[in-house]
Amino acid sequence: MVDTSVILSGIKMDNPVIPASGTFGFGYEFSSIYDINCLGTFSFKGTTRDERFGNPTPRIAECPEGMLNSVGLQNPGVERVISEKLPKLKECFNKKVMANVSGFSIEDYAYTCEKLDSEDQIGWFEVNISCPNVHGGGLAFGTSAKNAAEVTKAVKKVTSKPVFIKLSPNVTDIVEIAKACESEGADGVSLINTLLGMRIDLKRRKPILANKMGGFSGPAIKPVALRMVYQVYDAVKIPIIGMGGISTAEDVIEMMLAGATAVQVGAANLVDPFACKKIIENLPKAMEKYGINSLTEIIGGAHNG
């Protein structure tokens, strides 16, 4: 029998499949259609210090082999996540969850992480410094190695749990930023977040999204994600959570060969709410097909040739 388990910053996961933040809500929304305990874990909806309504509509636009989103970090704020969302999640999910945190200042990131740190159900933090569609936040930190390092340092001071920094692909050198995060104590990095893109309505001759631009995700970005994970794996010693266009068990294996310890699934959840469940069910068969006995043995395997 094949072994699908992996260890992510000291926490054992039954498999490496993680629904990505923003595509799986706070988990309990999906628990009515299948048992979400089959997941390795999941990254819950991006949480900020204060409640956010998000960007104006329309927020979604379809693209060939992908989609654009400009949701704008709509969330109830950290206090309500703690008082309302996590108790509901505890009723249906018995594993550690990943807390995705966003902010508009270093103080915002630190405040939100410190508030969530005492919650026992949280196993890891995923600090999003890479949101491409929120004015004044996210991307400003994710495109600068210096700023990324400062956020990492501030969050590490107030948390006792592993901190993964979520990196933007909309940069000249993602390796430099990953190394800067590692130097300030990041326990891992997540990459990639969405590329920056847009669509134009031919009849109206205006951008489809109210925000004009948004995050481009889906199968079309997988080659970019694989390339960046491969590059970062060569440059850092901390684990990588790989994401970008993952929709099959074979995609998971490919991303792990590039250097990922775990893999997030994003846009596929919005196309098929059972996407992660199907990937997990198909993973053993895909492993057998390619002669893989244990997933931990293939992490970074494409670098050995």
Percentage of the chain lying above the pLDDT 70 cut: 96
How many CB atoms within 10 Å of residue 187?
21
Give the residue-averaged pLDDT of 122-130: 95
**Selection from 2, 11, 1 nearest residue 298 by Cα:** 2
Residue 73 in this model has a pLDDT that exceeds 70: yes
Residue 139: what pLDDT?
54
For domain 6-303, give the CATH number.
3.20.20.70
CA dist list (Å): 175 to 82, 128, 294: 34, 17, 28
Provide the H-helix boundaries in the chain. 78-80, 86-90, 106-117, 139-142, 145-158, 174-183, 222-235, 249-258, 267-271, 275-289
**Selection from 61, 48, 37, 239 nearest residue 121 by Cα:** 37
Residue 276 in this model has a pLDDT that exceeds 80: yes
Contact 96, 246 (CB under 8 A): no
Using one digit for the tens of pLDDT, what is the confidence trace for 167-201?
Answer: 999 999 999 999 999 999 999 999 999 999 999 99
And the tokens for 280?
Answer: 């997990």
Q: Which residues are catalytic?
A: 131
Residue 133: what pLDDT?
47
CA dist list (Å): 295 to 37, 120, 238, 245, 289: 19, 28, 17, 20, 13
Which band of pLDDT confidence, cut at 50, 70 and 90, is reported for residue 130? Answer: confident
Q: Give the predicted TM-score (pTM) of the model.
A: 0.96
Residue 132: what pLDDT?
54
* Beta carbons within 8 Å of 190's beta carbon, 6+ residues apart: 126, 164, 165, 166, 167, 240, 241, 243, 264
